[in-house]
Amino acid sequence: MSALYEPFQLRSLTIPNRVWMSPMCQYSAEASGPDAGAPGDWHFAHYGARAAGGTGLILVEATAVSPEGRISPGDLGLWNDRQAAAFRRITSFLKGQGTVPGVQIAHAGRKASTDAPWRGGAPVGSEADGWQPVAPSPLPFDDGHPVPDELTVEEIQRVVADFAAAARRARDAGFEVVEVHGAHGYLIDQFLSPHTNHRTDAYGGSFENRTRFALEVVDAVRAVWPEELPVLFRISATDWLTENPNDEREGWTVDDTVRFAAVLKAHGVDLLDVSTGGNAPKARIPTGPGYQVPFAERVRSEVGLPVGAVGQITEAGQAAKIIENGQADAVLIGRELLRNPYFARHAARELGGEVSAPVQYHRAV
């Protein structure tokens, strides 16, 4: 059997295979009113189909820890108990299919209050359910984006508490894995990178200061999350900016990621979900099949922390080789799972692996 279909153990949790679903925003929740941020029929059908398709772990899209932490007014949230209750229908169904339910909790920072991508993704104001973004420093994301408010130390601590509260609700909602979103230019990533963090207090400047907020979030989440269940952290391994220390545009680098991965491991993070980019809109990114896998491989080999690999992983053989070659412990599939909810099942047939099928579908196995 292909290593892609071997179970994977994280703390007490056994994930049935190494084909996992990457968090991908759907921008399809109610924007306002009592059901704002709560999952609906679209989310149930969307995630349920991938579970029926044999995906081992599903990480639900970036789910905001506060209303102002949303990327768009249509984002999911876990800032109130009504939202947590609405998730239980989804987590129960996923578990019933043999899939582990996970959720990515997030704060968008300066990239908040934007429209859905199919409407252009531009910033939206209060007339379209928008709000004022916040960030570590008052630097807009791109041309045409608002200058965010710089967070005070008191406000930073409030966001840390929001992450902890969201993690507590995630467990109440039935999730068994929680992932802290520290990638793609969202708030935690903004603190990590000197490209976006120009603070001069305890949260800016040195590596230790720039990583302080991320570690406070991880510690707060780990403190409320069950000891027997895993915490994941998604990171952008590089901003794809120059690594010349004399260049004012210098950002977060792969060397920073390797260094920080060891710290995250010491703080109770069980797996690093390794992506790249998102913090500098004009960065040049050399994309291609598996282009981010080497970053995951380096963390795994140098730190000994389990890793997930992402980025244009679209074929069964390609995914299997990543696991078999020891480059990653799991592959997180994105767009290919949007195209084909049954990717895990089809790949198993091609590779000689095995995934459970819903009993209603046995005549087609």
* Coil/strand/helix, residue 94: helix
Q: Which of 5, 27, 186, 203 is catalytic?
A: 186
DSSP letter at 3 equals G
DSSP 166-224: HHHHHHHTT-SEEEEEE-TTSHHHHHH-TTT----STTSSSHHHHTHHHHHHHHHHHHH
Q: Is 342 a catalytic residue?
A: no
Among candidate residues 309, 304, 341, 312, the one with its CA nearest the CA of residue 52: 341
Contact criterion met (CB below 8 Å) for 63 and 105: yes
Look at strands 134-135 and 149-150 and give their pairing: parallel
- At residue 192, φ and ψ (nearest 5 deg) are -65, -40
Among candidate residues 301, 188, 202, the one with its CA nearest the CA of residue 235: 188
CA distance 247 to 254: 17
- For tokens 């049935």, the residue is 16
* Coil/strand/helix, residue 78: coil
CA distance 38 to 326: 38
CA distance 239 to 252: 6
Contact criterion met (CB below 8 Å) for 28 and 43: yes
> Which amino acid, one-letter code, is at 293?
V
CA distance 282 to 165: 35
Query: Would you state the torsion angle of the CA atoms of residues 119, 121, 122, 125, taken in this order, to the nearest 10 degrees?
Result: 80
Task: Supply the residues annotated as catalytic.
Answer: 186
